[in-house]
Amino acid sequence: MPLFNVYPLYDVTPVSGKGVYVYDDKGAEYLDLYGGHAVISIGHAHPKYVEAISNQVAELGFYSNAIQNPLQVQLADKIEALSGCKDYELFLCNSGAEANENALKLASFKTGKSRVIAFKNGFHGRTSAAVAATDNPSIVAPINAQQAVTFLDLNDIAGVQAELEKGDVCAVILEFIQGVGGLDQGTAEFFEQVDALCKANNTLFIADEVQSGYGRSGKFFAFQHYNVTPDIISIAKGMGNGFPIGGILIHPNIEAKFGLLGTTFGGNHLACAAGLSVLEVIEDQKLIDNVNVMSEYFIKIAKTIPQIKAIKGRGLMLGLEFDFEVGDLRKRLIYENHIFTGGASNKKLIRILPPLTVRREHINMFFEALIEVLAEIEPAEELQVQKI
């Protein structure tokens, strides 16, 4: 049976990984500055992670949500301790889209309203309400388009105010750093005013931290760079280091009741074991400190390269913008230099989403390769990596 052909594929077949490297079927090594799309947080095949998952699957991989599962409680406590998000409650699911789907559904249950405010260039996943709140008509099917969503420009606070005052908006959902869209960010003033307007208008503020969460921005959550209190925080990618797990942190102003949300696989034993070991490694290896140090190092070097027109994002969720489309550049980095990077809807931007364990030597390797490729594209430029 052929695979349903929805992905344009690079001609590389990774079969194993270790730390920030993956290895293909011919034994070639690739530097992974893409992290399998911001998913690999603690590095490929981290020994503690491998041990935790292996031990758990040998004991009990799965049982339904109808029984006590102390691993879910341990995971919730660990998320609270590392994120500093006191008082929130945790609901576990399996992916980022599902996290946002549940977040939007909960906002609608809580407020009794149904319209959503989302932002241009935002991405929230491919399920029903999540895809309707994603600003990409090509992935919204007619069945999804019946959801009422209004898209505004980032930083359009007057627009947010006018829409919320109409009284029918259940949620404002946003990424504090836009991932798929291309690493754009709103201003602190904008985020803080959105927070206040939501609270004044009985609208829930949903922070989509699916990509920016779990330390990638240099704080546990990207919203923590601002003075805001989201009602719901959605999480996924870095949470399981590749094991499918997602969740929402729910503010106590939203009351749980039996049957309100549910899932078969969400929060299963194996997923919780993966999630717990990720948090233990983030804590033990002080990976959020590493994010900040490596981010600063990366940005300093990037600033010395004249072809880079803008450096976007923060932490290890960074974008390098050029004044030309970067498809060819990224292909050369993969095939000639064996370095994975990410793309974005903004075709002139390379996304850098490495495992949070990345070190200076990897960043140096990237810039050496980038300069080499840029010199082939624009031979006039004579550049050398300035190691700082």
Ligand X SMILES: Cc1ncc(COP(=O)(O)O)c(C=O)c1O
Q: Which span sits near ligand X by CB under 6 A: 11-19, 207-215, 285-293, 299-307?
A: 207-215
The secondary structure of 187-249 as a DSSP string is -HHHHHHHHHHHHHTT-EEEEE-TTTTTTTTSSSSGGGGSS---SEEEE-GGGTTTS--EEEE
Q: Which residue has the CB atom at the shortest distance from ligand X? A: 96
41 binds ligand X (CB under 6 A): no
Neighbours of 375 (CB within 10 A): 14
217 binds ligand X (CB under 6 A): no
Output the smallest distance, CB 98 to ligand X, in A.
Answer: 7
Please report, as residue ranges, which positions from 160 to 179 form the binding site for ligand X (by CB under 6 A). Answer: 175, 179
Output the smallest distance, CB 178 to ligand X, in A.
Answer: 8
- Are residues 182 and 345 in contact, defined by beta-carbon separation less than 8 angstroms? yes
Q: Which long-range contacts (CB under 8 A, 24 or more apart) does 303-309 make?
A: 304/386, 305/367, 305/370, 305/371, 305/374, 305/383, 306/381, 306/383, 307/374, 307/378, 307/381
Helices (H), 20-168: 35-38, 47-59, 70-83, 96-111, 128-132, 142-145, 157-164
Output the smallest distance, CB 123 to ligand X, in A.
Answer: 5
Quick one: 179 or 373, whose CB is closer to ligand X? 179
Please report, as residue ranges, which positions from 124 to 153 form the binding site for ligand X (by CB under 6 A). Answer: 124-125
- Are residues 50 and 250 in contact, defined by beta-carbon separation less than 8 angstroms? no
Q: Which span sits near ligand X by CB under 6 A: 17-25, 26-34, 90-98, 323-331?
A: 90-98
Residue of 160, 172, 236, 350 interacting with ligand X (CB under 6 A): 236
Output the smallest distance, CB 58 to ligand X, in A.
Answer: 27
Q: Which span sits near ligand X by CB under 6 A: 6-14, 72-80, 81-89, 122-130?
A: 122-130
- Are residues 117 and 163 in contact, defined by beta-carbon separation less than 8 angstroms? yes
100 binds ligand X (CB under 6 A): yes
Quick one: 141 or 200, whose CB is closer to ligand X? 141
Residue of 97, 157, 270, 318 interacting with ligand X (CB under 6 A): 97
Cα-flanking dihedrals φ and ψ of residue 163, to 5°?
Answer: -70, -45
69 binds ligand X (CB under 6 A): no
Cross-strand partners of 17: 22
241 binds ligand X (CB under 6 A): no
Output the smallest distance, CB 97 to ligand X, in A.
Answer: 3
Q: How far apart are CA 293 and CA 295, in angstroms?
A: 5
276 binds ligand X (CB under 6 A): no
The secondary structure of 4-47 as a DSSP string is P------S--EEEEEBTEEEETT--EEEESSHHHHT-SS-BT-H
Residue of 31, 180, 206, 282 interacting with ligand X (CB under 6 A): 180
Output the smallest distance, CB 352 to ligand X, in A.
Answer: 15
101 binds ligand X (CB under 6 A): no
Output the smallest distance, CB 275 to ligand X, in A.
Answer: 14
Binding residues for ligand X, rule: CB under 6 A, are 95-97, 100, 123-125, 175, 179-180, 208, 210-211, 236
